[in-house]
Amino acid sequence: MRQVFHLDTSQVPTHWYNILADLPVEVPAPRSAPRANARTNGTVPGVDGEGGDADVEANGHGTPVRPQLPLSMYRQSIGRTRHVEIPGPVREEYQRWRPTPLYRASRLERALDTPAHIYFKYEGTSPSGSHKINTALAQAYYYAQSGVKQMVTGTGAGQWGTALSMACLPYGMECTVFMVRSSYRQKPYRGTLMRLNGARVIESPSMETEVGRAALRADPDSPGSLGIANAEAIEYASGRKDARFSIGSGENHVLLHQTVIGEEALLQMEKAGEFPDVVIGAMGAGSNFAGIAFPFYREAMQDHPGTRFLAVEPDACPKMTRGSYLMDHTDYSGVTPMVKMYTLGHTFTAYHIHAGGLRYHGAAPIVSAMYHEGLVEATSYSQSRVFESGMAFARAEGLVPAPESAHAVAAAIDEAVRAREEGRERVILFGLSGHGLLDLSAYEMHLAGETVDVVPTDEQIQASLRPLIESS
């Protein structure tokens, strides 16, 4: 029997947790910071292209881009309020599947013959199959409130596009998704899922934008990249008055929205009568890691010093373990404002790996600042270790982890094995950020012995970092 720690629907958190209220470290401001429009006087008026939005303007790259945030969400990204109320309609949407279950992985413990207690918080029960819908719903709500009619985004592996397409439905908004061509073709069901939710899915590079046309002129067979897809989405949205580009991770407000995960997990661990010695999450740009870790960080500061927080990245995209803490752009085309983060350089192109959601070049500014101060740790794993861990977990627990989530599984297994070797109990909590049922082709390739472990060389990393170091 597997122990599960359920909560009632009424126990869905009423507030998100803003770690900026408690961090003992400074998170440097973006260069070319977003500015709130003074004329709006604190209200969120209808969209007039300028009015209620906090414009984020490009710096020095010619075309101005404006991934405008509604004022309400812009405030969340800089605010110091510790507990931010979740709007009623968003909480109601959460209640359709939240609280998500927290399980004890007893069979995995037995398979590893470990004295450690392993717990996992499972976000794969969400309608989109991962944690990303927690912020997608919040963002769709705030954009709809400010008069936006269409959400536009880029998606790599497809998890974010799926989440946003679903999140637009309750608010009657249109959704346009530029999906990286290689994923579009390798994972056709992701595209199907988005389309059946009413989204328009465009293979990127496309002929719909200048960025896309240029990429296709340069290489008609371009497999695309998340950088190009996002650049297309930004261009597409900025040419339409009532459309906005939305981003699924990294930003302060996105991390905030994901803290529902950790707030629930806190209550569930309390039911289990334990507090974790280590909290583990897979690291893309940091939203699911922050989501589970930050509320535990708050409690640990008070009552549990010595609690560890471990972010897990792929060997192929080691921004924290091998990158540098520098000002860098969050997008490949270099049109967004610069933020201080652990980065491999915005022009770094990670090898293709199945955990597409972890191929992002940088780590969220908040997580980066914490890592810089030693408040969180980071580690990295090869693809084969990740798939082996994902399969071991599936056989023990009957759930197939998304390849991204399997990174957290690998680290949890290592912690449990170390507990065995050291002959002591240890309480391990990890975030299982999504299910892998639409990623079976990746598992199939691994079973066929086709997994390739690729690691960038120091020279490759230096090549994309050098321009940043020279200009800083």
Question: Which is it for the CA torsion 91, 95, 96, 99, positive or negative?
Answer: positive
Secondary structure element (H or E) that encloses residue 50, with its range = none
Which residue type does 343 have?
T
Contact 114, 396 (CB under 8 A): no
- Residue 170 to residue 176: CA distance in whole angstroms: 16
- Residue 285 to residue 289: CA distance in whole angstroms: 9
239: exposed, middle or buried (Cβ count in 10 Å: 0-12, 13-18, 19+): exposed
Any contact of residue 132 with ligand PLP (CB under 6 A)? yes
Any contact of residue 358 with ligand PLP (CB under 6 A)? yes
β partners of residue 320:
none
Any contact of residue 286 with ligand PLP (CB under 6 A)? yes
Over the window 423 to 462, marking each residue x when it contacts ligand PLP by CB under 6 A and - when it does not, the resulting string is ----------xx----------------------------
Q: Cβ closer to ligand PLP: 249 or 464?
A: 249
Any contact of residue 389 with ligand PLP (CB under 6 A)? no
Q: How far is the CB of 45 from ligand PLP (least distance, A)?
A: 31
Contact 462, 409 (CB under 8 A): no
Any contact of residue 257 with ligand PLP (CB under 6 A)? no
> Angle 396-105-316 (CA atoms, 0-180°, nearest 5)?
75
SS3 of residue 20 by DSSP: helix
Q: Cβ closer to ligand PLP: 249 or 252?
A: 249
Q: Using CB under 6 A, pick the residue from 30, 224, 284, 456 that binds ligand PLP.
A: 284
State the virtual CA torsion across 246, 372, 412, 406 in degrees, nearest 10. 30
Assigned token pair, 324: 């540098």
Residue with tokens 């293979």: 203
Any contact of residue 357 with ligand PLP (CB under 6 A)? yes
Contact 60, 32 (CB under 8 A): no
Residue with tokens 């947790």: 17
Any contact of residue 104 with ligand PLP (CB under 6 A)? no
Part of the chain binding ligand PLP (CB under 6 A), chosen from 32-40, 139-147, 280-288, 297-305 = 280-288
- Residue 216 to residue 204: CA distance in whole angstroms: 9
Q: Using CB under 6 A, pick the residue from 282, 300, 461, 465 that binds ligand PLP.
A: 282
Any contact of residue 139 with ligand PLP (CB under 6 A)? no
Q: Which of 411, 314, 443, 405 is nearest to 126 (CA)?
A: 405
Q: Percent helix, strand, coil in the chain (nearest 5)? A: 45, 20, 40
Position with the least CB separation from ligand PLP: 284
Question: Which is it for the CA torsion 249, 439, 97, 433, positive or negative?
Answer: negative
Q: How far is the CB of 367 from ligand PLP (least distance, A)?
A: 9
Any contact of residue 268 with ligand PLP (CB under 6 A)? no
Any contact of residue 405 with ligand PLP (CB under 6 A)? yes
Any contact of residue 166 with ligand PLP (CB under 6 A)? no
Q: Cβ closer to ligand PLP: 52 or 357?
A: 357
Any contact of residue 341 with ligand PLP (CB under 6 A)? no
Any contact of residue 161 with ligand PLP (CB under 6 A)? no
Binding footprint of ligand PLP, residue count (CB under 6 A):
19
Part of the chain binding ligand PLP (CB under 6 A), chosen from 15-23, 47-55, 73-81, 286-294 = 286-294
Any contact of residue 204 with ligand PLP (CB under 6 A)? no
Q: How far is the CB of 470 from ligand PLP (least distance, A)?
A: 29
Any contact of residue 366 with ligand PLP (CB under 6 A)? no
Q: Cβ closer to ligand PLP: 68 or 128?
A: 128
Which residue type does 298 have?
R
Interface positions with ligand PLP (CB under 6 A): 130, 132, 159, 249, 282-289, 357-358, 402, 404-405, 433-434
